[in-house]
Amino acid sequence: MLGDGEEQRSMGVTKVIALRKELVSRSAAEDSSSSERQSNSIRLFHIPTINMKADVYYQLADIETWSQQPPEIAHLTKDSIEDCRMKPLLLYHPCHNQTVEQHVKLVTEASAQVPGFQRREGIIRQKIKSRSLMTKFDTKMQFT
Domain of residue 81: give its range.
6-85
Evaluate whether residue 128 is within a structural domain.
yes
Check whether residue 52 and residue 108 sit in a common domain. no
Give me the half-sphere count of Cα atoms (radius 13 Å) on the Cβ side of residue 134.
10
Same domain, 25 and 73: yes
Say if 120 falls within a structural domain.
Answer: yes
CA geometry: angle 9, 58, 21, nearest 5 deg: 60
102 and 77, same domain (yes or no) = no
Pair (48, 113) in one structural domain? no
DSSP label at 3?
A: T
Residues 72-119: tens digit of each pLDDT: 888 889 999 999 999 999 887 777 778 888 888 999 999 999 988 899
Are 71 and 123 in the same domain? no
Contact 11, 81 (CB under 8 A): no
143 falls within a domain: no
Question: Are 131 and 69 contained in the same domain?
Answer: no
**pLDDT tens per residue, range 41-80:** 566 677 778 999 999 888 898 878 777 777 788 888 999 9
Global model pTM greater than 0.85 = no
Co-location of 70 and 10 in the same domain = yes
Let me know if residue 142 belongs to a domain.
no
Residue 77 lies in a domain: yes
User: Taking a C-beta distance cutoff of 8 angstroms, is the pair 69, 19 a contact?
Assistant: yes
Tell me whether residue 93 is in a domain: no
3-state DSSP call for residue 111? Answer: helix
The answer on 64 and 37 residing in a single domain is yes
Q: Are residues 124 and 67 in the same domain?
A: no
**37 lies in some domain:** yes
**Alpha carbon distance 95, 98 (integer Å):** 9
In a domain, 25, yes or no: yes
Count of domains for the chain: 2
pLDDT tens sequence across 10-43: 999 999 999 888 888 877 766 655 444 444 556 6
Per-residue pLDDT, 25: 80
